[in-house]
Structure 1
Amino acid sequence: MKLISWNVNGFRALQRKMDVYQWMEEMGADALCIQETKLHQDQVQFDSPGYFQYWNDAVRKGYSGTAIFTKQKPINVTYGMGIEVHDQEGRLITLEYENYYLITVYTPNAKRDLTRLDYRLEWGAAFTQYIKGLDQHKPVIFCGDLNVAHQEIDLTYPKNNRENSGFTLQERNDFSKLLDEGFIDSFRSLYPDKKGAYSWWSFQFNARQRNIGWRIDYFVLSKRLEKCISDVKILKEVVGSDHCPVELDLSLQNA
Protein backbone atom coordinates (compact mmCIF):
# COMPACT_ATOMS: atom_id res chain seq x y z
CA MET A 1 0.00 0.00 0.00
CA LYS A 2 1.36 3.41 -1.01
CA LEU A 3 0.20 6.44 0.96
CA ILE A 4 1.26 10.00 0.14
CA SER A 5 0.89 13.15 2.23
CA TRP A 6 1.36 16.70 0.93
CA ASN A 7 0.80 20.20 2.22
CA VAL A 8 -0.18 21.70 -1.11
CA ASN A 9 -0.33 25.36 0.01
CA GLY A 10 -3.56 25.91 -1.89
CA PHE A 11 -5.21 23.17 -3.95
CA ARG A 12 -6.39 25.45 -6.74
CA ALA A 13 -2.90 26.91 -7.07
CA LEU A 14 -1.52 23.38 -7.32
CA GLN A 15 -4.02 22.51 -10.05
CA ARG A 16 -2.68 25.40 -12.13
CA LYS A 17 0.81 23.90 -11.89
CA MET A 18 0.11 20.20 -12.47
CA ASP A 19 -2.51 17.58 -13.29
CA VAL A 20 -3.04 16.28 -9.75
CA TYR A 21 -5.10 13.27 -10.77
CA GLN A 22 -2.60 12.19 -13.43
CA TRP A 23 0.21 12.56 -10.89
CA MET A 24 -1.65 10.38 -8.36
CA GLU A 25 -2.19 7.74 -11.02
CA GLU A 26 1.45 7.84 -12.13
CA MET A 27 2.60 7.54 -8.51
CA GLY A 28 0.31 4.58 -7.94
CA ALA A 29 -1.03 6.20 -4.78
CA ASP A 30 -3.61 4.22 -2.88
CA ALA A 31 -4.40 7.39 -0.96
CA LEU A 32 -3.31 11.02 -1.19
CA CYS A 33 -3.76 12.98 2.03
CA ILE A 34 -3.46 16.73 1.61
CA GLN A 35 -3.30 19.73 3.91
CA GLU A 36 -3.80 23.48 3.48
CA THR A 37 -6.38 23.20 0.72
CA LYS A 38 -7.32 26.88 1.25
CA LEU A 39 -10.82 26.47 -0.19
CA HIS A 40 -14.33 25.23 0.29
CA GLN A 41 -15.11 22.11 -1.71
CA ASP A 42 -17.71 23.90 -3.81
CA GLN A 43 -14.98 26.25 -5.07
CA VAL A 44 -13.08 23.54 -6.90
CA GLN A 45 -13.67 21.09 -9.73
CA PHE A 46 -11.60 17.94 -9.27
CA ASP A 47 -12.49 14.69 -11.01
CA SER A 48 -10.75 11.60 -9.64
CA PRO A 49 -12.15 8.40 -11.20
CA GLY A 50 -11.27 5.44 -8.99
CA TYR A 51 -10.76 7.59 -5.90
CA PHE A 52 -13.27 8.54 -3.22
CA GLN A 53 -12.94 12.17 -2.07
CA TYR A 54 -13.32 13.48 1.48
CA TRP A 55 -12.88 17.18 2.30
CA ASN A 56 -12.86 19.09 5.58
CA ASP A 57 -13.07 22.82 4.99
CA ALA A 58 -12.31 25.58 7.48
CA VAL A 59 -15.22 27.83 8.41
CA ARG A 60 -13.09 30.73 7.17
CA LYS A 61 -12.76 30.66 3.38
CA GLY A 62 -9.30 30.49 1.87
CA TYR A 63 -7.72 29.12 5.04
CA SER A 64 -6.38 25.77 6.26
CA GLY A 65 -8.44 22.73 5.21
CA THR A 66 -7.67 19.07 4.51
CA ALA A 67 -8.71 16.34 2.09
CA ILE A 68 -8.15 12.65 1.36
CA PHE A 69 -8.47 10.94 -2.01
CA THR A 70 -8.51 7.19 -1.52
CA LYS A 71 -9.07 4.12 -3.69
CA GLN A 72 -10.50 2.08 -0.83
CA LYS A 73 -13.85 3.20 0.54
CA PRO A 74 -13.74 3.52 4.34
CA ILE A 75 -16.35 2.06 6.63
CA ASN A 76 -16.65 5.36 8.48
CA VAL A 77 -15.47 8.97 8.08
CA THR A 78 -15.04 11.51 10.88
CA TYR A 79 -14.28 15.19 10.48
CA GLY A 80 -12.41 16.86 13.33
CA MET A 81 -11.93 15.63 16.89
CA GLY A 82 -15.46 16.26 18.13
CA ILE A 83 -14.26 19.30 20.10
CA GLU A 84 -15.90 22.45 18.77
CA VAL A 85 -13.10 24.85 19.61
CA HIS A 86 -10.64 22.68 17.67
CA ASP A 87 -12.90 21.82 14.74
CA GLN A 88 -13.36 25.22 13.08
CA GLU A 89 -10.35 25.10 10.77
CA GLY A 90 -10.80 21.84 8.86
CA ARG A 91 -7.60 20.34 10.21
CA LEU A 92 -8.49 16.66 10.57
CA ILE A 93 -10.12 13.82 8.66
CA THR A 94 -10.23 10.25 9.97
CA LEU A 95 -11.01 7.29 7.72
CA GLU A 96 -11.83 4.07 9.51
CA TYR A 97 -10.99 0.79 7.80
CA GLU A 98 -11.41 -2.76 9.02
CA ASN A 99 -7.90 -3.06 10.45
CA TYR A 100 -6.66 0.52 10.87
CA TYR A 101 -7.44 4.23 10.88
CA LEU A 102 -5.97 6.63 8.31
CA ILE A 103 -5.84 10.30 9.31
CA THR A 104 -4.76 13.48 7.54
CA VAL A 105 -3.88 16.27 9.94
CA TYR A 106 -2.76 19.88 9.63
CA THR A 107 -1.41 21.00 12.99
CA PRO A 108 -1.88 24.70 13.84
CA ASN A 109 1.13 26.97 13.45
CA ALA A 110 2.25 28.80 16.59
CA LYS A 111 2.83 31.91 14.42
CA ARG A 112 6.07 33.77 13.93
CA ASP A 113 5.62 35.82 17.11
CA LEU A 114 4.37 32.74 19.05
CA THR A 115 1.03 34.42 19.75
CA ARG A 116 -0.71 31.13 18.98
CA LEU A 117 1.68 28.89 20.90
CA ASP A 118 -0.70 28.32 23.82
CA TYR A 119 -3.50 27.30 21.47
CA ARG A 120 -1.08 25.16 19.47
CA LEU A 121 -0.19 23.22 22.63
CA GLU A 122 -3.85 22.86 23.67
CA TRP A 123 -4.62 21.48 20.22
CA GLY A 124 -1.66 19.09 20.38
CA ALA A 125 -2.71 17.72 23.77
CA ALA A 126 -6.26 17.17 22.51
CA PHE A 127 -5.01 15.47 19.35
CA THR A 128 -2.80 13.11 21.37
CA GLN A 129 -5.81 12.09 23.45
CA TYR A 130 -7.85 11.64 20.28
CA ILE A 131 -5.43 9.25 18.59
CA LYS A 132 -4.79 7.41 21.87
CA GLY A 133 -8.50 6.68 22.00
CA LEU A 134 -8.53 5.38 18.43
CA ASP A 135 -5.41 3.30 19.04
CA GLN A 136 -7.24 1.37 21.74
CA HIS A 137 -9.52 -0.03 19.03
CA LYS A 138 -7.16 -0.55 16.09
CA PRO A 139 -3.81 0.76 14.81
CA VAL A 140 -3.53 4.36 13.64
CA ILE A 141 -1.69 5.83 10.65
CA PHE A 142 -1.69 9.61 10.63
CA CYS A 143 0.13 11.96 8.32
CA GLY A 144 0.47 15.58 7.48
CA ASP A 145 2.10 18.89 8.21
CA LEU A 146 2.70 18.75 11.97
CA ASN A 147 4.39 22.16 12.00
CA VAL A 148 7.28 20.96 14.17
CA ALA A 149 10.83 19.84 13.51
CA HIS A 150 11.24 17.25 16.23
CA GLN A 151 15.01 16.91 16.52
CA GLU A 152 18.00 19.07 15.65
CA ILE A 153 18.71 16.78 12.70
CA ASP A 154 15.33 17.80 11.27
CA LEU A 155 16.31 21.34 10.25
CA THR A 156 19.35 23.07 8.83
CA TYR A 157 19.98 25.65 11.55
CA PRO A 158 18.75 24.32 14.91
CA LYS A 159 20.77 26.73 17.06
CA ASN A 160 19.32 29.76 15.28
CA ASN A 161 15.72 28.52 15.62
CA ARG A 162 15.36 27.46 19.25
CA GLU A 163 12.93 30.28 20.04
CA ASN A 164 11.14 30.16 16.68
CA SER A 165 7.76 28.73 15.78
CA GLY A 166 8.06 25.06 14.87
CA PHE A 167 11.19 24.43 16.92
CA THR A 168 10.37 25.71 20.40
CA LEU A 169 11.03 23.30 23.23
CA GLN A 170 7.31 23.28 24.02
CA GLU A 171 6.32 22.14 20.53
CA ARG A 172 9.06 19.54 20.38
CA ASN A 173 8.07 18.20 23.79
CA ASP A 174 4.45 18.02 22.65
CA PHE A 175 5.48 15.74 19.80
CA SER A 176 7.70 13.67 22.10
CA LYS A 177 4.75 13.12 24.44
CA LEU A 178 2.65 11.91 21.53
CA LEU A 179 5.30 9.42 20.44
CA ASP A 180 5.68 8.21 24.02
CA GLU A 181 2.06 7.08 23.92
CA GLY A 182 2.99 4.22 21.58
CA PHE A 183 3.60 5.86 18.20
CA ILE A 184 6.62 6.12 15.90
CA ASP A 185 7.95 8.65 13.42
CA SER A 186 8.17 6.27 10.47
CA PHE A 187 10.98 8.13 8.70
CA ARG A 188 13.27 8.18 11.72
CA SER A 189 12.44 4.57 12.50
CA LEU A 190 14.15 3.65 9.20
CA TYR A 191 16.64 6.50 8.88
CA PRO A 192 17.58 7.67 12.40
CA ASP A 193 20.78 9.43 11.32
CA LYS A 194 19.90 10.72 7.85
CA LYS A 195 20.76 14.41 7.50
CA GLY A 196 19.49 16.95 4.99
CA ALA A 197 16.11 15.24 4.76
CA TYR A 198 13.65 18.12 4.63
CA SER A 199 10.07 18.56 3.45
CA TRP A 200 9.62 22.34 3.68
CA TRP A 201 11.71 25.23 2.43
CA SER A 202 11.19 28.98 2.59
CA PHE A 203 10.42 30.70 -0.72
CA GLN A 204 13.22 33.15 0.14
CA PHE A 205 16.98 33.00 -0.39
CA ASN A 206 16.85 30.07 -2.85
CA ALA A 207 16.32 27.88 0.19
CA ARG A 208 15.02 24.88 -1.71
CA GLN A 209 17.85 24.90 -4.23
CA ARG A 210 20.34 25.18 -1.37
CA ASN A 211 18.39 22.59 0.71
CA ILE A 212 18.06 24.93 3.68
CA GLY A 213 14.92 23.41 5.11
CA TRP A 214 12.88 21.74 7.81
CA ARG A 215 11.31 18.29 8.08
CA ILE A 216 7.83 19.05 9.38
CA ASP A 217 5.74 16.59 7.31
CA TYR A 218 5.38 13.12 8.76
CA PHE A 219 3.82 9.69 8.70
CA VAL A 220 3.29 8.58 12.31
CA LEU A 221 2.12 5.05 13.08
CA SER A 222 1.05 2.96 16.02
CA LYS A 223 4.24 1.28 17.13
CA ARG A 224 2.81 -2.18 16.49
CA LEU A 225 2.80 -1.35 12.76
CA GLU A 226 6.54 -0.68 12.65
CA LYS A 227 7.29 -4.09 11.16
CA CYS A 228 4.86 -3.30 8.31
CA ILE A 229 6.91 -0.37 6.97
CA SER A 230 8.58 -1.11 3.64
CA ASP A 231 9.98 2.38 3.02
CA VAL A 232 9.45 6.07 3.73
CA LYS A 233 10.38 8.61 1.07
CA ILE A 234 10.67 12.38 0.94
CA LEU A 235 9.75 13.30 -2.64
CA LYS A 236 11.79 16.49 -2.83
CA GLU A 237 11.87 16.45 -6.65
CA VAL A 238 8.10 17.05 -6.75
CA VAL A 239 7.42 20.79 -6.93
CA GLY A 240 4.22 22.80 -6.75
CA SER A 241 4.26 23.90 -3.12
CA ASP A 242 6.73 25.14 -0.51
CA HIS A 243 6.39 21.62 0.90
CA CYS A 244 7.18 18.40 -0.95
CA PRO A 245 5.15 15.20 -0.63
CA VAL A 246 6.17 12.39 1.71
CA GLU A 247 5.42 8.76 0.95
CA LEU A 248 4.84 5.71 3.13
CA ASP A 249 5.06 2.22 1.62
CA LEU A 250 3.34 -0.23 3.93
CA SER A 251 2.60 -3.94 3.90
CA LEU A 252 -0.26 -4.56 6.31
CA GLN A 253 -0.05 -8.29 5.63
CA ASN A 254 2.80 -8.17 8.14
CA ALA A 255 0.57 -6.73 10.84
Structure 2
Amino acid sequence: MRVISINVNGVHNAIEQGLFDWLQTQHADVICLQDTRASAYEMEAPEVQLHGYYCYACDAESPEQGGVAIYTRLQPKAIIFSLGFESSDRYGRYIQADFDKVSIASVLMPSGRGSDAELNQKFKFMDDFGRYLDKQRRKRRDYIYCMSTYIAHNKLDVKHWRDCQQEIGFSSPERAWMESIFGEMAYIDALREVSREGDLFSWWADSEQAELLNLGWRFDYQVLSQGLRRTVRSAKLSRQPRFSQHAPLSVDYDWVLSV
Protein backbone atom coordinates (compact mmCIF):
# COMPACT_ATOMS: atom_id res chain seq x y z
CA MET A 1 0.00 0.00 0.00
CA ARG A 2 1.29 3.43 -0.92
CA VAL A 3 0.04 6.56 0.86
CA ILE A 4 0.98 10.04 -0.37
CA SER A 5 0.29 13.18 1.63
CA ILE A 6 0.89 16.83 0.73
CA ASN A 7 -0.11 20.27 1.94
CA VAL A 8 -1.10 21.91 -1.34
CA ASN A 9 -1.53 25.57 -0.22
CA GLY A 10 -4.63 25.67 -2.41
CA VAL A 11 -5.64 22.73 -4.58
CA HIS A 12 -6.36 24.77 -7.70
CA ASN A 13 -2.90 26.35 -7.70
CA ALA A 14 -1.26 22.97 -7.09
CA ILE A 15 -3.13 21.47 -10.03
CA GLU A 16 -1.90 24.33 -12.23
CA GLN A 17 1.63 23.47 -11.07
CA GLY A 18 1.16 19.89 -12.29
CA LEU A 19 0.27 18.07 -9.06
CA PHE A 20 -2.41 15.83 -10.55
CA ASP A 21 -0.27 14.89 -13.55
CA TRP A 22 2.45 13.83 -11.11
CA LEU A 23 0.06 11.96 -8.82
CA GLN A 24 -1.31 9.91 -11.72
CA THR A 25 2.19 8.46 -12.19
CA GLN A 26 2.78 7.58 -8.53
CA HIS A 27 0.47 4.53 -8.19
CA ALA A 28 -0.74 5.58 -4.75
CA ASP A 29 -3.58 3.72 -3.08
CA VAL A 30 -4.54 6.70 -0.91
CA ILE A 31 -3.70 10.40 -1.32
CA CYS A 32 -4.26 12.91 1.48
CA LEU A 33 -4.33 16.65 0.76
CA GLN A 34 -4.20 19.45 3.32
CA ASP A 35 -5.04 23.15 2.94
CA THR A 36 -7.18 22.74 -0.17
CA ARG A 37 -8.70 26.24 0.19
CA ALA A 38 -11.76 24.99 -1.67
CA SER A 39 -15.37 24.39 -0.70
CA ALA A 40 -16.81 20.88 -0.67
CA TYR A 41 -18.82 21.90 -3.73
CA GLU A 42 -15.68 22.98 -5.60
CA MET A 43 -14.04 19.67 -4.72
CA GLU A 44 -16.79 17.89 -6.67
CA ALA A 45 -15.85 19.66 -9.92
CA PRO A 46 -14.42 17.50 -12.75
CA GLU A 47 -11.09 19.36 -12.79
CA VAL A 48 -10.48 18.37 -9.15
CA GLN A 49 -11.08 14.66 -9.73
CA LEU A 50 -8.30 12.11 -10.17
CA HIS A 51 -8.92 9.33 -12.66
CA GLY A 52 -9.40 6.02 -10.86
CA TYR A 53 -9.99 7.56 -7.42
CA TYR A 54 -12.92 8.34 -5.17
CA CYS A 55 -12.67 11.88 -3.76
CA TYR A 56 -13.88 12.99 -0.33
CA ALA A 57 -13.41 16.49 1.05
CA CYS A 58 -14.07 18.57 4.15
CA ASP A 59 -14.09 22.35 3.97
CA ALA A 60 -13.90 25.22 6.44
CA GLU A 61 -16.60 27.76 7.22
CA SER A 62 -14.45 30.13 5.16
CA PRO A 63 -13.34 27.85 2.28
CA GLU A 64 -10.55 30.19 1.19
CA GLN A 65 -8.53 28.86 4.12
CA GLY A 66 -8.13 25.33 5.43
CA GLY A 67 -9.82 22.25 4.07
CA VAL A 68 -8.65 18.64 3.68
CA ALA A 69 -9.33 15.85 1.20
CA ILE A 70 -8.74 12.15 0.62
CA TYR A 71 -8.49 10.39 -2.74
CA THR A 72 -8.67 6.61 -2.60
CA ARG A 73 -8.71 3.84 -5.22
CA LEU A 74 -10.80 1.62 -2.91
CA GLN A 75 -14.15 2.92 -1.77
CA PRO A 76 -13.98 3.11 2.05
CA LYS A 77 -16.49 1.63 4.46
CA ALA A 78 -17.09 5.04 6.04
CA ILE A 79 -15.94 8.66 5.96
CA ILE A 80 -15.65 10.78 9.10
CA PHE A 81 -15.71 14.56 8.72
CA SER A 82 -16.00 15.69 12.33
CA LEU A 83 -13.97 15.29 15.52
CA GLY A 84 -16.58 17.00 17.67
CA PHE A 85 -14.55 20.02 18.69
CA GLU A 86 -14.61 23.50 17.18
CA SER A 87 -10.87 23.95 16.69
CA SER A 88 -11.06 21.21 14.06
CA ASP A 89 -14.59 21.14 12.68
CA ARG A 90 -15.06 24.87 12.10
CA TYR A 91 -11.89 25.09 10.04
CA GLY A 92 -12.11 21.86 8.01
CA ARG A 93 -9.01 20.34 9.57
CA TYR A 94 -9.85 16.62 9.58
CA ILE A 95 -11.21 13.89 7.34
CA GLN A 96 -10.89 10.13 7.86
CA ALA A 97 -11.49 7.13 5.59
CA ASP A 98 -12.24 3.82 7.31
CA PHE A 99 -11.15 0.55 5.71
CA ASP A 100 -10.91 -2.96 7.12
CA LYS A 101 -8.68 -2.80 10.24
CA VAL A 102 -7.14 0.56 9.33
CA SER A 103 -8.27 4.19 9.13
CA ILE A 104 -6.40 6.85 7.16
CA ALA A 105 -6.87 10.54 7.98
CA SER A 106 -5.81 13.86 6.50
CA VAL A 107 -5.08 16.45 9.20
CA LEU A 108 -4.27 20.16 8.87
CA MET A 109 -3.01 22.03 11.92
CA PRO A 110 -2.98 25.83 12.17
CA SER A 111 0.40 27.30 11.35
CA GLY A 112 0.20 29.82 14.20
CA ARG A 113 2.50 32.13 12.28
CA GLY A 114 0.24 35.02 11.34
CA SER A 115 -0.72 36.59 14.68
CA ASP A 116 -1.10 35.93 18.39
CA ALA A 117 -4.70 34.90 17.75
CA GLU A 118 -3.57 32.32 15.20
CA LEU A 119 -0.92 31.00 17.60
CA ASN A 120 -3.55 30.64 20.32
CA GLN A 121 -5.74 28.79 17.84
CA LYS A 122 -2.83 26.43 17.18
CA PHE A 123 -2.33 25.68 20.87
CA LYS A 124 -6.07 25.10 21.28
CA PHE A 125 -6.03 22.59 18.43
CA MET A 126 -2.95 20.90 19.92
CA ASP A 127 -4.77 20.44 23.24
CA ASP A 128 -7.97 19.14 21.64
CA PHE A 129 -6.32 16.87 19.10
CA GLY A 130 -3.79 15.58 21.62
CA ARG A 131 -6.60 14.34 23.85
CA TYR A 132 -8.27 12.76 20.81
CA LEU A 133 -5.08 10.91 19.82
CA ASP A 134 -4.63 9.69 23.38
CA LYS A 135 -8.09 8.09 23.28
CA GLN A 136 -7.68 6.62 19.79
CA ARG A 137 -4.54 4.67 20.65
CA ARG A 138 -6.70 2.42 22.82
CA LYS A 139 -8.96 1.44 19.91
CA ARG A 140 -8.77 -1.99 18.33
CA ARG A 141 -7.78 -0.75 14.90
CA ASP A 142 -4.80 0.93 13.32
CA TYR A 143 -4.47 4.52 12.14
CA ILE A 144 -2.40 6.52 9.68
CA TYR A 145 -2.64 10.26 10.32
CA CYS A 146 -1.28 12.27 7.39
CA MET A 147 -0.54 15.47 9.27
CA SER A 148 0.65 18.89 8.21
CA THR A 149 1.60 20.14 11.67
CA TYR A 150 3.75 23.26 11.04
CA ILE A 151 5.99 21.88 13.80
CA ALA A 152 9.51 20.51 13.36
CA HIS A 153 9.88 17.72 15.91
CA ASN A 154 13.61 17.69 16.61
CA LYS A 155 17.00 19.08 15.59
CA LEU A 156 17.19 16.93 12.47
CA ASP A 157 13.96 18.47 11.25
CA VAL A 158 15.08 22.09 10.76
CA LYS A 159 18.12 23.66 9.14
CA HIS A 160 20.26 25.72 11.56
CA TRP A 161 18.13 24.60 14.49
CA ARG A 162 20.04 26.70 17.03
CA ASP A 163 18.86 29.87 15.31
CA CYS A 164 15.24 28.69 15.20
CA GLN A 165 14.56 27.78 18.82
CA GLN A 166 12.44 30.88 19.46
CA GLU A 167 10.56 30.67 16.17
CA ILE A 168 7.00 29.43 15.85
CA GLY A 169 7.21 25.91 14.53
CA PHE A 170 10.20 24.97 16.68
CA SER A 171 9.31 26.43 20.07
CA SER A 172 9.60 24.36 23.24
CA PRO A 173 5.82 23.90 23.79
CA GLU A 174 5.29 22.77 20.19
CA ARG A 175 8.19 20.34 20.27
CA ALA A 176 7.01 18.99 23.65
CA TRP A 177 3.60 18.32 22.11
CA MET A 178 5.19 16.36 19.27
CA GLU A 179 7.34 14.47 21.77
CA SER A 180 4.25 13.47 23.75
CA ILE A 181 2.78 11.93 20.59
CA PHE A 182 5.89 9.95 19.67
CA GLY A 183 6.96 9.34 23.27
CA GLU A 184 4.22 9.00 25.87
CA MET A 185 1.51 8.00 23.37
CA ALA A 186 3.94 5.78 21.42
CA TYR A 187 2.79 6.78 17.94
CA ILE A 188 5.25 6.16 15.11
CA ASP A 189 6.87 8.70 12.77
CA ALA A 190 6.84 6.74 9.48
CA LEU A 191 9.78 8.61 7.92
CA ARG A 192 11.99 8.20 10.99
CA GLU A 193 11.14 4.53 11.15
CA VAL A 194 13.23 4.01 8.01
CA SER A 195 15.65 6.99 7.99
CA ARG A 196 17.61 9.05 10.51
CA GLU A 197 19.17 11.26 7.86
CA GLY A 198 19.28 15.01 8.27
CA ASP A 199 18.18 17.60 5.71
CA LEU A 200 14.94 15.72 5.00
CA PHE A 201 12.62 18.70 4.89
CA SER A 202 9.06 19.18 3.69
CA TRP A 203 8.61 22.97 3.75
CA TRP A 204 10.60 25.90 2.44
CA ALA A 205 9.86 29.62 2.43
CA ASP A 206 8.85 31.24 -0.86
CA SER A 207 12.39 32.08 -1.87
CA GLU A 208 14.65 30.61 -4.50
CA GLN A 209 17.66 31.06 -2.24
CA ALA A 210 16.01 29.12 0.59
CA GLU A 211 15.27 26.23 -1.76
CA LEU A 212 18.75 26.18 -3.31
CA LEU A 213 20.37 26.14 0.14
CA ASN A 214 17.78 23.65 1.45
CA LEU A 215 16.85 25.98 4.31
CA GLY A 216 13.88 23.85 5.16
CA TRP A 217 11.72 22.53 7.96
CA ARG A 218 10.00 19.15 8.28
CA PHE A 219 6.41 20.08 9.00
CA ASP A 220 4.67 17.10 7.37
CA TYR A 221 4.31 13.60 8.80
CA GLN A 222 2.58 10.27 8.49
CA VAL A 223 1.87 9.34 12.11
CA LEU A 224 1.07 5.67 12.77
CA SER A 225 -0.44 3.61 15.53
CA GLN A 226 1.84 0.97 17.03
CA GLY A 227 0.33 -1.93 15.07
CA LEU A 228 1.70 -0.49 11.81
CA ARG A 229 5.27 -0.02 12.99
CA ARG A 230 6.72 -3.04 11.23
CA THR A 231 4.78 -2.44 8.02
CA VAL A 232 6.77 0.64 6.90
CA ARG A 233 8.95 -0.34 3.93
CA SER A 234 10.11 3.03 2.56
CA ALA A 235 9.42 6.74 2.89
CA LYS A 236 10.38 9.64 0.65
CA LEU A 237 10.04 13.42 0.64
CA SER A 238 10.13 14.66 -2.97
CA ARG A 239 11.77 18.10 -3.27
CA GLN A 240 11.16 18.20 -7.01
CA PRO A 241 8.92 18.90 -8.76
CA ARG A 242 7.39 21.59 -6.52
CA PHE A 243 3.62 22.05 -6.31
CA SER A 244 3.42 24.24 -3.19
CA GLN A 245 5.64 25.31 -0.30
CA HIS A 246 5.42 21.70 0.91
CA ALA A 247 6.95 18.49 -0.46
CA PRO A 248 4.87 15.34 -0.98
CA LEU A 249 5.56 12.55 1.52
CA SER A 250 5.24 9.07 0.01
CA VAL A 251 5.25 6.02 2.28
CA ASP A 252 5.07 2.39 1.19
CA TYR A 253 3.55 -0.09 3.64
CA ASP A 254 3.56 -3.87 3.74
CA TRP A 255 -0.22 -3.79 3.87
CA VAL A 256 -3.01 -4.67 1.48
CA LEU A 257 -5.92 -2.24 1.72
CA SER A 258 -9.33 -3.90 1.89
CA VAL A 259 -12.87 -3.29 3.10
**TM-score relative to the length of structure 1:** 0.92
Please list the CA deviations of residues 182-227 of structure 1 after superposition, one character each: whole Å capped at 9, or x if unmatched: 20111112212x1111110011252112111001111110122111
**8 Å contact 1:77–1:93 — kept in the other structure?**
yes
Counterpart Cα distance in 1 of 2:204 and 2:19: 23
TM-aligned CA deviation for residue 82 of structure 1? 1.3
List gaps (5 residues or longer) in structure 2: none
What is residue 41 of structure 2 aligned with on the other side? 42
What is residue 238 of structure 1 aligned with on the other side? 241
**8 Å contact 1:4–1:247 — kept in the other structure?**
yes
List gaps (5 residues or longer) in structure 1: none
* Residue 85 to residue 235, structure 1, CA distance change in 2 (3 Å): closer
Counterpart Cα distance in 1 of 2:41 and 2:2: 28
Counterpart Cα distance in 1 of 2:86 and 2:19: 35
**8 Å contact 2:14–2:243 — kept in the other structure?**
yes
Q: Which residue identity lines up with residue 39 of structure 1 in the other structure?
A: A
Identity over aligned pairs, percent: 26
What is residue 252 of structure 1 aligned with on the other side? 255
What is the aligned counterpart of 2:156 among 153, 157, 179? 153
What is residue 181 of structure 1 aligned with on the other side? 185
What is residue 128 of structure 1 aligned with on the other side? 130
TM-aligned CA deviation for residue 58 of structure 1? 0.8
What is residue 16 of structure 1 aligned with on the other side? 16
Q: 1:206 aligns to what SS in structure 2? A: helix
TM-aligned CA deviation for residue 149 of structure 1? 0.2
* Residue 203 to residue 63, structure 1, CA distance change in 2 (3 Å): same
Runs of 4+ in 1 over 6 A off after TM superposition: none
Q: Which residue identity lines up with residue 150 of structure 1 in the other structure?
A: H
Please list the CA deviations of residues 161-188 of structure 1 after superposition, one character each: whole Å capped at 9, or x if unmatched: 1111111100111111122212011111
Counterpart Cα distance in 1 of 2:56 and 2:16: 21
TM-aligned CA deviation for residue 28 of structure 1? 0.4
Please list the CA deviations of residues 123-146 of structure 1 after superposition, one character each: whole Å capped at 9, or x if unmatched: 112212223333313111111211
TM-aligned CA deviation for residue 114 of structure 1? 4.4
Q: Which residue identity lines up with residue 152 of structure 1 in the other structure?
A: K
* Residue 80 to residue 14, structure 1, CA distance change in 2 (3 Å): same
Counterpart check, 1:31 vs 2:35: no
What is residue 53 of structure 2 aligned with on the other side? 51
Query: What is the alpha-carbon root mean square deviation over aligned residues?
Result: 1.6
Q: When the two structures are aligned, how many residues end up with a matched partner? A: 251
Counterpart Cα distance in 2 of 1:54 and 1:99: 20
Deviates more, 1:230-239 or 1:127-136: 127-136
Please list the CA deviations of residues 30-85 of structure 1 after superposition, one character each: whole Å capped at 9, or x if unmatched: 11101111111323532323211110111113111111101111111111311134
**8 Å contact 2:88–2:94 — kept in the other structure?**
no
